Amino acid sequence: MTLRLHNTLTATKDVFEPVAAGQVGMYTCGPTVWNYAHAGNLRAFLVYDLVRRHLQVSGYDVTHVMNLTDIDDRILDQAMHAGVTIGDYVKPYVAAFFEDMGALRAQPATHYPRATEHIPEMVEMISELIENQHAYIADGDVYFRIASFPTYGALSHLDRAGLRAGARIAQGGRGLGSAEPVPGGASSRIRQDKYDKESVSDFALWKKAQPDDEKLGAAWDAPFGRGRPGWHIECSAMSKRYLGVTLDIHAGGVDLMFPHHENEIAQSEAANHKQFARFWLHSEHLADATGEKMSKSAGGFTTLRDLTDAGHDPVAVRFFLLASAHYRTRLRLSTESLHAAAEQVRRLREFADRVQRSTPSDVDDGDLLRRIGEVRTGYREALDDDLNLPQGVGLVFELAREANAAMDSGRVGERSRDALLLLVDDFDAHLDIVRSEEPGLAQEVARLIAEREAARKGRDFGRADQIREELREKGIALEDSKEGVRWRRVR
């Protein structure tokens, strides 16, 4: 089977092949931890989870890097207001981010590098860019010289006129050394766009330290002057540190495409002289009930906490964000759509539970068996076709109706039951809604299974048996199969 992913760079669905066989290096833009993540961000983070899981299902070993932006203008403003250092200010929001990801069952990334912990890597890259004339110093700030990078704009397919238009639009955005408006912005320290830039589109790599920055713990020494990094350079420097100069996949929300991702490409390719990312994946916006794009700065601020306080199950939120629309289409958040998602989760869990508990009939229904095979293939093909999870889940629902009817009339034999169990494993590898209702249990079981495998490999059968017993006490039974070790709840 062939995996095709829509690549923003080519604007087509391209066959995915990593540089090194079997290994995928994936970088995804993470949260700016100035506040709780809003639902629009969570959608992007769950799309990363889907990409990651499908790559794993496809047999790839994935190194997934997701940065935490723990320094930017908004963080500086808020820390100033609270009278604490930026390090202290972001702490609860970093913790909240990991809590949200856990509640939403996103698989943890391999690395979560933080901007403030990678200043030397950024300083090194900026120095290279100054040395090779792609960047210049102006009054203590350092800017990237866009005129030195002729292919700038290729990702967002901007022509020169479009680029100028985009540059104007981006003036208010966080891309060009300014920031999104901060609520209660009277105290805002955001500086007006500088006049000493060579071109209005040039963006900041480094910002000269202001007196307040020292108090906030937000200033570092560099050969080009004491200061702090601009926002874009962190992704170029940290992806290189953990994944090397060419990424197999770079993903992010569509709002990051311009200018952030264009700037990442410019910085990395100008410094490394190698292609930065081979595949660019962008997820669409989440809209609020009125159809407006959700963002913190626009006041449309719905966090996972808001949703759980309103009684929504995080697993239903996960299903809604991942499976109710293809990742490249807009999705509208509403109470009704969340309730519909919760109902779909309930039906899939009930179906999985029924299959697991069912006693097979003596004979198999050949037609049913063939249908299950078709749906398993169709599900896989849908995911291989640019991660079309909604289409795949649609097939599962159709089959669930047929299989429920077959169980009602005793037409599910052993082979059909096994095939249905495999189908449950297939869809739950992406959805992760069935295996357990307790957060963290699936990871804990996975960890124990891995430990048991290691014990068996080391011929420590005593420990292996002990782990099987521990799991049995938790109500988990292990089954060894050709595909590996499966687990299920026993009552």
> Which residue, 237 or 342, is less far from Zn ion as judged by CB?
237
Specify the DSSP element, H or E, that contains 54.
helix 39-57
- For Zn ion, give the closer residue by CB, 277 or 396: 277
Decide whether 41 or 416 has the Cβ nearer to Zn ion: 41
* Beta carbon nearer to Zn ion, 26 or 235: 235
Closer residue to Zn ion (CB): 63 or 416 = 63
CA atoms of 318 and 329, how far apart (whole Å): 16
Q: Where are the alpha helices (H) located in 132-259, listed in sequence order? A: 160-170, 211-215, 233-243
Nearest to 170 by CA among 203, 214, 124: 203
Residue with tokens 């052993």: 414
Cα 406-411-414 angle, rounded to 5 deg: 115
8 Å CB contact between 316 and 322: no
Beta-carbon contacts of residue 81 (< 8 Å; ≥ 6 apart): 184, 187
- Closest to Zn ion by CB, 29 vs 80, is 29
User: Which residue in this structure is represented by tokens 């320290």?
Assistant: 189
CB of 236 to Zn ion, least distance (A): 8
Tell the smallest beta-carbon distance from residue 65 to Zn ion (Å): 11
Cα–Cα distance, 229 to 236 (Å, whole number): 12
The CB-of-146 to Zn ion minimum distance in angstroms stands at 18
User: How many residues are listed for the chain in this entry?
Assistant: 491
> In whole angstroms, how close is the CB of 235 to Zn ion at the nearest point?
3
The whole-angstrom separation of Cα 151 and Cα 148 is 9
In DSSP terms, 331 is beta-bridged to 286
Q: Which residue blocks in 180-297 are alpha helix, DSSP H?
A: 211-215, 233-243, 262-272
CB nearer to Zn ion: pick between 29 and 403: 29
Q: Closer CB to Zn ion, residue 158 or residue 235? A: 235
Nearest-angstrom CA–CA distance, 160 and 158 = 6
State the nearest-atom distance from the C-beta of 256 to Zn ion, in Å.
6
Q: Which is nearer to Zn ion, 249 or 369 (CB)?
A: 249
CB 73 to Zn ion: min, Å: 16
Do you find a cis peptide bond into 390, omega within 30 degrees of 0?
Answer: no
Distance linking the first and last C-alpha atoms of the chain: 37
Q: Give the number of C-alpha atoms closer than 13 A to the C-alpha of residue 245, restricted to the C-beta side.
A: 11
Q: What are phi and psi of 92, to 5 degrees?
A: -65, -30
115: DSSP letter: G
Closest approach of Zn ion to the CB of residue 38, in Å: 17
Specify the amino acid at residue 421: L
Instruction: Specify the residue, 65 or 235, whose C-beta has the smaller distance to Zn ion.
Output: 235
E-assigned strand segments in 306-349: 331-332
Under the rule (CB under 5 A), what is the footprint of Zn ion? 29, 235
Please say which residue, 235 or 254, places its beta carbon nearer to Zn ion: 235
CB 13 within 8 A of CB 5: yes
Shortest Cβ 294–Zn ion spacing (Å):
19
Task: State the minimum distance, in angstroms, from the CB of residue 262 to Zn ion.
Answer: 11
Nearest residue (CB) to Zn ion, 204 versus 235: 235
Distance CA 283, CA 262 (A): 16
Phi-psi map region of 137: left, alpha, beta (phi>0 left; psi -120 to 50 alpha)? beta
- Least distance in Å: CB of 36 to Zn ion? 20
Minimum distance of Zn ion from residue 91's CB (angstroms): 22
Residue 482: both structure tokens together: 């050709």
Give the residue at shortest CB distance from Zn ion: 235
Beta bridge partners of 15: 4
Which CB atom, from 29 or from 86, has the smaller least distance to Zn ion?
29
* Residue 266 buriedness (CB in 10 A; 0-12 / 13-18 / 19+): buried
Minimum distance, C-beta of residue 419 to Zn ion, in the bound complex (Å): 42
Minimum CB–partner distance for residue 252 and Zn ion (Å): 6
Q: Cα separation of 1 and 132, whole Å? A: 44
